[in-house]
Structure 1
Amino acid sequence: MQAQLETLSALERRLSIAVPREEIAKQVDARLKRVAKTAKIDGFRPGKAPLNVVFQSHGFRIQEEVLGETVERSFGEAVVEQKLQVAGYPRFEAKQDVAENGPFEFLATFEVYPEIVLGDLSAVEVQKPTLVVGDDEVNKTIDILRSQRTRFERVERAAAAGDRVIIDFKGTIDGVAFAGGSSDNYAFIIGNGQMLPEFEAGVVGMKEDESKDVTVAFPADYHGKDVAGQTAVFAITVKNVAAANLPALDADFAKSLGIEDGDVEKMRAEVKGNLEREVRFRLKSRAKENAMSAVIEATPLDLPRSLISLEIGRLVEGAQADLQQRGIDPKTVPFQPALFEAQARRRVHLGLVLSELVEAEKLTTQPEQIKAIIEDLAQNYEDPSEVVAWYYASPDRLSGPTNMALEDNVVEFVLSKAKVTEQVVAFDELMGQQGQ
């Protein structure tokens, strides 16, 4: 075998490989003889057909198999010989302009992993978000819990902000009804932004069994393209007006949150503990994102396109699986790979740099770290000891907490090296963002 390496770009390489025809012919002949021993061919007893007859029946398949194996084997040998780190999958193609009796020649085009030189983290600025959970945060959380248990009671008065109304409505544009513009027994809470402001303003002041027309101008950027920028008239009939009735902050409310004896102070303490865990998780998530961005900034890389494409494929599959779990047929939602490009590039970049960083700085995890993470996760469940036991019942289940511990080590290392600025985060803003 002979192999010549050609550099096409920063990461793209091409190997030109030649394998003697005699070597391939020997392998084809040897395999043909093995097949001939058991081949069943019409007119001959099993294993008694002449080689030329066996070749007519099985020769093409055998040649294809031998050529495929030769390509993979010789490519692997050439990669080892040239000391190459191949990223993704190579693209093989046979050379066309070769002598009939000359060697079998093919081209392998592929990318290699970039050389990673870890950057200077001390030159990078990282924001570390902070937030202390106090009485105000606990009170806001309890108010949210109360609002989630709101009961609506029918009232005989005009509808006002905060009320839930049930209405029938029919919308027309220039006297013609339009798709999605009509509904019966439609319920919404005035002021929650569920309907357009002009629509809600028109309902305010209406009483049960009252009807009126309300004119609404759809914004030019309205999601419904058929009506965007147009003016509609809605014939509205109010069928029910109900006022919000929040539960009192008493023993019954405490019991509804799982405090058996109804002690309100115990409830507040439990809410605060749960809130502190959630805030800690979200702050940690943000610090991790900021630290990872610092790692990317400190170590710029040329990224193999093949790895980005593979990552895009995984992200698309994940999005499709998520839709399927929600009962939505993924085929009805076309995914454009370009939508996942930035996320895929970030993941590939991080994967390459973090692997190097963990090895270079020996940031491996310790059993006690993993145990602490599992015990913290278990606090969100009714029986934490049962959750801990579940994790340790199978080594596969430890991969998640182990990765979390590894990320913690990376974040801690980055924060120890970078220019760190503490940033106080507003409670509402932090809790409005889902943990990542």
Structure 2
Amino acid sequence: MATAVETLGKLERRITISFPLTDVRTEVEKRLKVQARTAKAPGFRPGKVPLKMVAAQYGYQIESEVLNDKVGRAFNDAANENNLRVAGFPNIVPKEEAAEGQLAFDATFEVYPEVAIGDLTAVEIETVQADVSEAEIDKTIDILRKQRVHFHTKGEAGEHGDGGEPIAANGDRVTVDFVGAIDGVEFPGGKAEGYAFVLGEGRMLPEFEAATLGLKVGESKTFPLSFPEDYHGKDVAGKTASFTITLQKLEWAHLPEVDAEFAKSLGVADGDLAKMREDIKVNLQREVAGRVKARNKEAVMDALIKVAELEVPKTLIAQDSERLAEMTRQDMAQRGMNVKDVPFPAELFADKAERRVRLGLILSQLVGDNNLQATPEQVKAQIEDFAQSYEDPREVLKYYYSDRRRLGEIEALVLEENVVTYVLGLSKVTTKAVAFDELMGSNAQA
């Protein structure tokens, strides 16, 4: 039995549910008898253990299960009878006062809100577009060359030359011994032998690199180095040390020539440079298209948040905050980080969770009102698009279609794209051209 629904707030509701204590006892006895058929105890054959002993061993567990089942069923029945769309899980606590022979519980919960979406035709949205020029292809080739750099002893003649005068310059790889001291005392981490780094990449503090420039193999230099106040080593942060470095090895960087061999190293079997550039262009265009799509989707989602009015259930925010915290923990653990004793307070993720839940409710309303669900054809097309960048597209199709959860992720992605297309088709859209570097430096997430 359930009482009338009480309204405690905009979304918060309460129902009192009750049922006879005898119903619980009857069900407990029934389950104990079932348990007794297979129960084991020293000195008794299986199924011959006295019911009192079975009750002593399993009674508390079975009583808890019966109560949970009955309370859960009664709550679900009450919610269905009152046409309530319950958000999250109810908080159910025993009621102190109950009629004689009855068990009573208060179930406090939230319901899904009404979502009011404003006039989309009045919404202004700025989208972006970007092109891939020959300059971007050239930059990418330079990056690929640097990834394949190899070093030679500077000053020694070789197949690719001698690298010029044998003094340390930006771009050279140097190997040094160094020792640092503060007030004449060496400090932990301030000493190393055979430490290699490339000048000009910014791996070392500016004073350290400046002191290395111009040295020849075997030469040493002593210089002061001031650690920044925010330096990661707290023991030396904000302090000035005296360092002595000795150059032990000097190598110059030889970048591979852009020739047929270079093209082959990038997977172009016949070494055709024109084909290599075309492949790079296609890959860059695919990356640009993805970034543009993400930026434009974010713009649409921002607009929907502004134009929609709704109360967001706190229960759903709390649940999503917990989910995000656990996802972050798992991600860090997979990256090899020790997170065993690291706290992940869910409240740190509350803002992100609130946005995710709010958008989820808005999208659900739009999809339902305008029939924007993902079709099987759209899902297949999306997976086939993903598969283009893999050697065996059939394996990609199999990967998604063999797992309902993975397929659901694609369906959700297509659904979002349907919403974006729908909103952009109604709203006032302006398009801004953005530079390639700006776009690739962005990290849009909706």
Fold in common (TM above 0.5)? yes
SS in 2 for 1:268: helix
Distance in 1 (CA, whole Å) between partners of 2:108 and 2:210 is 65
Q: Is the 8 A contact 1:121 1:294 kept in 2?
A: no
Distance in 2 (CA, whole Å) between partners of 1:108 and 1:358 is 31
Tell me which moved more, 115-124 or 355-364: 115-124
SS in 2 for 1:223: coil
* 1:375 matched residue in structure 2: 384
* 2:322 matched residue in structure 1: 313
**1:233 Cα deviation after fit:** 2.1
RMSD: 3.0
1:25-70 CA deviation, whole Å, 9 max, x = no partner? 5444555666678878999999899988876776555544433322
* 2:115 matched residue in structure 1: 116
SS in 2 for 1:233: strand
2:222 maps to 1:209: no
Q: Is the 8 A contact 2:22 2:101 kept in 1?
A: no
Distance in 2 (CA, whole Å) between partners of 1:197 and 1:48 is 82
2:305 maps to 1:296: yes
Distance in 1 (CA, whole Å) between partners of 2:46 and 2:268 is 80
Q: 2:234 corresponds to which letter in structure 1?
A: K
Q: 2:416 corresponds to which letter in structure 1?
A: E
Q: Is the 8 A contact 1:158 1:204 kept in 2?
A: yes
SS in 2 for 1:160: coil
Distance in 1 (CA, whole Å) between partners of 2:121 and 2:114 is 21
2:12 maps to 1:12: yes
Unaligned runs of 5+ residues in structure 2 are 156-165
2:176 maps to 1:167: yes
Question: Residues 162 and 96 of structure 1: is their aligned pair in 2 closer, same or farther, counting only changes over 3 Å?
Answer: same
2:193 maps to 1:184: yes
Q: 2:132 corresponds to which letter in structure 1?
A: V
Question: Residues 431 and 55 of structure 1: is their aligned pair in 2 closer, same or farther, counting only changes over 3 Å?
Answer: closer
Distance in 2 (CA, whole Å) between partners of 1:204 and 1:43 is 86
1:85-234 equivalences under 5 Å are: 85-98=85-98, 101-156=100-155, 157-234=166-243
1:150-191 CA deviation, whole Å, 9 max, x = no partner? 222221422112222122222222223333333322222222
Q: 2:233 corresponds to which letter in structure 1?
A: G
Q: 1:227 corresponds to which letter in structure 2?
A: V
Distance in 2 (CA, whole Å) between partners of 1:401 and 1:267 is 31
Question: Residues 42 and 211 of structure 1: is their aligned pair in 2 closer, same or farther, counting only changes over 3 Å?
Answer: closer
Q: Is the 8 A contact 2:400 2:407 kept in 1?
A: yes
SS in 2 for 1:329: coil
Tell me which moved more, 233-242 or 23-32: 23-32
**1:312 Cα deviation after fit:** 2.0
**1:412 Cα deviation after fit:** 0.9
Distance in 1 (CA, whole Å) between partners of 2:380 and 2:32 is 58
Question: Residues 403 and 58 of structure 1: is their aligned pair in 2 closer, same or farther, counting only changes over 3 Å?
Answer: closer
1:257-294 CA deviation, whole Å, 9 max, x = no partner? 11222221111111111111111111112111222222
* 1:82 matched residue in structure 2: 82
Q: 2:189 corresponds to which letter in structure 1?
A: G
SS in 2 for 1:68: helix
SS in 2 for 1:302: coil
Question: Residues 276 and 51 of structure 1: is their aligned pair in 2 closer, same or farther, counting only changes over 3 Å?
Answer: closer
Distance in 2 (CA, whole Å) between partners of 1:44 and 1:371 is 60
Question: Residues 367 and 50 of structure 1: is their aligned pair in 2 closer, same or farther, counting only changes over 3 Å?
Answer: closer
SS in 2 for 1:342: helix
2:407 maps to 1:398: yes
Q: 2:335 corresponds to which letter in structure 1?
A: R
* 1:426 matched residue in structure 2: 435
Q: 2:73 corresponds to which letter in structure 1?
A: R
Q: 1:92 corresponds to which letter in structure 2?
A: I
Q: 2:188 corresponds to which letter in structure 1?
A: A
Tell me which moved more, 290-299 or 59-68: 59-68
* 2:346 matched residue in structure 1: 337
Tell me which moved more, 42-51 or 8-17: 42-51
* 1:66 matched residue in structure 2: 66
Question: Residues 258 and 27 of structure 1: is their aligned pair in 2 closer, same or farther, counting only changes over 3 Å?
Answer: closer
Distance in 2 (CA, whole Å) between partners of 1:265 and 1:126 is 39
SS in 2 for 1:242: strand
SS in 2 for 1:239: strand
Distance in 2 (CA, whole Å) between partners of 1:7 and 1:288 is 37
2:413 maps to 1:414: no
Distance in 2 (CA, whole Å) between partners of 1:67 and 1:294 is 47
Q: Is the 8 A contact 2:152 2:254 kept in 1?
A: yes
Structure 1 residue corresponding to 2:335, chosen from 326, 339, 362: 326
Distance in 2 (CA, whole Å) between partners of 1:2 and 1:149 is 72
Question: Residues 21 and 177 of structure 1: is their aligned pair in 2 closer, same or farther, counting only changes over 3 Å?
Answer: same
Q: Is the 8 A contact 1:4 1:17 kept in 2?
A: no
Distance in 2 (CA, whole Å) between partners of 1:44 and 1:335 is 49
Question: Residues 38 and 390 of structure 1: is their aligned pair in 2 closer, same or farther, counting only changes over 3 Å?
Answer: closer
SS in 2 for 1:195: coil
Question: Residues 303 and 192 of structure 1: is their aligned pair in 2 closer, same or farther, counting only changes over 3 Å?
Answer: same
Q: Is the 8 A contact 2:130 2:439 kept in 1?
A: no
Question: Residues 170 and 13 of structure 1: is their aligned pair in 2 closer, same or farther, counting only changes over 3 Å?
Answer: farther
Question: Residues 181 and 108 of structure 1: is their aligned pair in 2 closer, same or farther, counting only changes over 3 Å?
Answer: farther
**1:14 Cα deviation after fit:** 2.2
Q: 1:14 corresponds to which letter in structure 2?
A: R
